[in-house]
Amino acid sequence: MSKSAIDKVADYFKEDYNCCQSVLISLLEQQDALFEEAPFIGAGFGGGIIGRGEICGAVSGAIMAIGVLTGKTVKETVEHKEATKKIVSKFLEKFGATDCNDLLEIDENDPDARQKAADRGVFREKCPEFVKTAVQLVLELLQE
Nearest to 60 by CA among 37, 78, 84: 84
Judged against a pLDDT cut of 60, whether residue 56 lies above it is answered with: yes
Provide the 3-class DSSP secondary structure of residue 69. helix
For residue 81, what pLDDT is reported? Answer: 84
What mean pLDDT comes out for the span 42-51?
A: 93
The pLDDT tens digits of the residues spanning 82-115 come to 889 999 999 999 999 999 999 999 998 899 999 9
- Average pLDDT value over all residues in the chain: 91
The pLDDT tens digits of the residues spanning 58-74 come to 999 999 999 898 876 66
Structural domain count, the chain: 1
Q: How far apart are CA 63 and CA 75, in angstroms?
A: 17
- The pair phi, psi for residue 99, each rounded to 5°, is -90, 140
For residue 1, what pLDDT is reported? Answer: 38
For residue 41, what pLDDT is reported? Answer: 94
- The boundaries of the domain holding residue 89 are 5-143
What mean pLDDT comes out for the span 36-54?
A: 93
